[in-house]
Amino acid sequence: MKASEARRYDIVVSNPPYVSVAEMLRLPREHRAEPAIGLRAARAGLAIVERIVAGAKRHLDPGGILVVEVGNAAARVRAPLPRTASAHVARVRARDSPRFFLLRAADLPG
């Protein structure tokens, strides 16, 4: 299948690694027992998030959305998001809930 023939989706949801190297050192011992590959990401925890945003438009229907969990990286993630996006970082539930952002396909680069 050629890239131009790739499947398209209404919604893409991701919970990628988003913990920075510095944050890894501060995690509770039980969290550090998890495989680092599932938690840690380069560039202040945003390397994989940036790749997802950069390539998402190729996989979304024109009216589709991208939802990505970014946890404590929420404050850092605003800068690399497209400026024209109707992006927001939000809480799913009250205190201590995961943070995520939502982007419409039309607002994504590409």
Question: Which residues, in sequence order, are bridge partners of residue 19?
Answer: 40
CA 110 to CA 107: how far, in whole Å?
Answer: 9
Which domain range does residue 44 map to?
A: 3-107
CA 6, chain centre distance (Å)? 21
pTM for the model stands at 0.81
CATH number for position 86: 3.40.50.150
Q: Parallel, antiparallel, or unpaired: how do β-strands 60-69 and 99-104 relate?
A: antiparallel
For residues 103 and 91, the answer to whether their CB atoms sit within 8 Å is no
What would the pLDDT profile of 3-52 be if each residue is shown by its tens digit? Answer: 556 789 999 999 999 999 999 999 999 988 999 999 999 988 889 998 99
What would the pLDDT profile of 57-101 be if each residue is shown by its tens digit? Answer: 999 999 999 999 988 888 787 666 665 554 556 555 445 566 888
How many independent structural domains does the chain possess? 1
